[in-house]
Amino acid sequence: MSSKYNISLVTGDGIGPEISESALSILEVINDNFSLSLEIKKLEAGDTVLKNTGKALPDETFETIKNSDACLKAPVGESAKDVIVYLRRMLDLYANIRPARSYPNMPALRDDVDLVIVRENTEDLYTGEEFDIGDAAVAMRIISEKASKRIANYAFTIAKNRERSIQRKVTCVHKSNVMKKTDGLFARTCSKVANDFSDIKFEEMYVDACSMNLIRQPQEFDVIVTTNLFGDILSDEAAQVIGGLGMAPAANIGDDFGLFEPVHGAAFDIAGKQIANPTSFILSISMMLEWLGRKHNDANCITAGTSIENAVWEVCLANIKTKDTGGDKTTMEFTKEIISRL
């Protein structure tokens, strides 16, 4: 009997609809081959919807997402704050998980990078608390012990369970030598949590040193845990280290819900040309299936997620690429190469 899940798919802006079609093709094959029944509900959110309706995230879209088992979200444009930031906060998706792995034949700095950035997803400067004082503008940076503790626990749990990891290490990244109150609290909280995971190595690093070492020796990192703004910046840097944003998936995880999306933006400059690399969205599907599998103790989901990642690896190993990464395949031609390996 097939395991049934309701999946929301936000098709987004720019290249969003193109890579969403790629995602739908992958999901169709997963249904046919892995004893799963993924019922997909296509939804609209982003710049186009904002222009047409005056609201980037319509109420009915939000309600459908909230009542689904998981959500896949293609990139949106300038309205991202009103879509993804709102969803993260309203659904309390406190853990932003962004893996960065070297794939064969991609322009990576090294071929042995395999790290995960675990980013606190609800606080920091991204709460949007800004105001004017005279001729100055002030932004409120909020760091709480509660949020710091739960993201640290999440990071250590990932480090403990990562099958490919040989280091079993968590690096806490902050800037407590300057921001003694906020980053000081984050660093102290992570250090306390580390005491509960004695089998995991723990280290601290200032964010500027981390950004340098992601270029100099990225293979030395295993799991990085950090605050919202730092995590946003470092994860984009890590993506470039392993070959570009098109190779970078992401998960937004809460206690009861998960939203999965590519790290990159809507890439309006190549929209409609069928040359965009859909790998980041396809790997986001892999992350979604593995998360559903763990949550529901569903081996078919886990197997399907792993199979997608393996298929991407095989396609890269064969040096098959889309046109925007130096290859000759269209978005759907590349997708069919992955499908043939599923």
Yes or no: say if 7 and 40 are a contact pair by the CB < 8 Å rule: yes
Query: For residue 232, what are the contacts with CB-CB under 8 A and spacing of at least 6?
Result: 119, 126
Where in the sequence numbering do the catalytic residues fall? 126, 175, 208, 232, 236
Q: If DSSP states are collapsed to H, E and C, what string results for 106-166? A: CCCCCCCCEEEEEEECCCEHHHCCEEEECCEEEECCECCHHHHHHHHHHHHHHHHHCCCCC
Within 10 angstroms of residue 89's Cβ, the number of other Cβ atoms is: 16
Radius of gyration of the chain (CA): 20
Residue 74 and residue 94: Cα distance in Å, rounded?
A: 19
